[in-house]
Amino acid sequence: MMMRRLLLFRLAASRKLLRTFAHSTAVRTDLRGRPQLPFLSVPSARAGRVRYLTTERKAQLKYEIKTGIKYTGYIWVAGLSLLGAWFAIVQERLERRYPTPHEWSYRTRMDLRGGNCARFEPSPGKITDWLQVAWWFETTVNRLQDPKIDGKDVKDAPHDCPPGTKDVTQKSEEWRRGYYEAMMGYAKAAEYVDGWVLDKTRNIVFPAGTMIGPSNPYPKPLPPGFKGAPREEDCELRFESPDSIYLRILFTPGFTNRQKIEAGLAYGSWLDYKGISGPAAIVFEDAVHLAASERQGLPAEPLDRKTWTLNEAAGLPSENLLTTLTAYAAFRARQGAIDSALPILVSILRARRSLPAPTPSPTPQTSLAAALNTKPTSAQERETPWTTISNFFIPPAYPAPPPDGTAPPTRDALDLCQEAALSLHIGEIMYTSSPSPASREEGLGWTREAVDVAEEQLHQLPQKVYQDSPARAACRDCLATGLGNWAAMVAKLAKEEERAKAAAGENKSSGGGWFGGLWGEGAAKVEEVDRWAAEEKVIEERQRRVRELLEDLKPPPRGILSFLQA
The answer to whether residue 364 scores a pLDDT higher than 60 is no
Q: In this predicted structure, which of 229-233, 370-374, 451-455 has the lowest mean pLDDT?
A: 370-374
* Mean per-residue pLDDT over the chain, rounded: 83
What are the backbone angles phi and psi of residue 397, rounded to the nearest 5°? -75, 145
Q: What is the pLDDT of residues 55-100, one digit of tens each?
A: 888 999 999 999 999 999 999 999 999 999 999 999 999 999 999 9
pLDDT band at residue 142, thresholds of 50, 70 and 90?
A: very high
310 closest CA partner among 296, 291, 283: 291
Residue type, 21: F
The torsion defined by the Cα of 492, 498, 499 and 502, in degrees rounded to 10, comes to 180
Categorize the per-residue pLDDT at 6 as very low, low, confident or very high, splitting at 50, 70 and 90.
Answer: low
**Per-residue buried b or exposed e for 190-211, using 16+ beta carbons within 10 Å of the residue's own CB:** bbebbebbbbeeeeebbeeebb
Please give the pLDDT value at position 9: 57
In one-letter notation, the amino acid at residue 165 is T
Amino acid at 198: L
Contact 342, 348 (CB under 8 A): no
pLDDT value at 372 more than 60: no
Give just the sign of the alpha carbon dihedral 3, 4, 6, 10. positive
Nearest partner of 261 among 314, 346, 318, judged by Cα: 318
Q: Which helix (H) or strand (E) holds 167?
A: strand 166-167
| pLDDT for the residue 410 | 92
Nearest Cα residue to 350 out of 327, 322, 320? 322
If we measure between CA atoms, which residue out of 170, 167, 180, 172 comes closest to residue 137? 180
Higher pLDDT, 281 or 223: 281
Q: What is the DSSP string of 66-105?
A: HHHHHHHHHHHHHHHHHHHHHHHHHHHHHHHHS---TTS-
What's the Cα-to-Cα distance from 76 to each of 67, 69, 85, 86, rounded to whole Å? Answer: 14, 11, 14, 15
**Mean pLDDT for the stretch of residues 176-200:** 96
Q: How far apart are CA 88 and CA 82, in angstroms?
A: 10
CA atoms of 160 and 169, how far apart (whole Å): 17
Q: Is the Cβ–Cβ distance between 45 and 21 less than 8 Å?
A: no
Predicted confidence band of residue 401 (pLDDT cuts 50, 70, 90) = very high
Sheet containing strand 204-206, strands side by side: 204-206, 197-199, 235-237
**Residue 502 pLDDT more than 90?**
no
DSSP-assigned beta bridge partners for residue 197: 206, 237
pTM of the model: 0.80
Q: Are 144 and 183 in contact (CB under 8 A)?
A: no
In this prediction, residue 49 carries a pLDDT of 60
pLDDT of residue 523: 40
Q: What local confidence, expressed as pLDDT, does residue 255 receive?
A: 96
Residue 213 predicted with pLDDT over 80 = yes
Residue 539 neighbours by CB distance under 10 Å? 19
257-294 tens-digit pLDDT: 999 999 999 999 999 999 999 999 999 999 999 999 98
**Residue 511 predicted with pLDDT over 90:** no
Asked whether residue 482 carries a pLDDT value surpassing 90, the answer given is yes
Rounded Cα–Cα distance for residues 244 and 194 (Å): 12
Do 80 and 86 touch, CB atoms closer than 8 A? no
Cα separation of 51 and 22, whole Å? 8
Q: What is the pLDDT of residue 38?
A: 65
46 or 274: which carries more pLDDT confidence?
Answer: 274
Distance CA 52, CA 443 (A): 100
CA distance to 135, 208, 210, 417, 472, per residue, from 229 (Å): 22, 11, 6, 48, 44
520 Rama class: left (phi>0) / alpha (psi -120 to 50) / beta = left
User: Can you tell me the distance from the alpha carbon of 318 to that of 310, in angstroms, rounded to the nearest whole number?
Assistant: 11
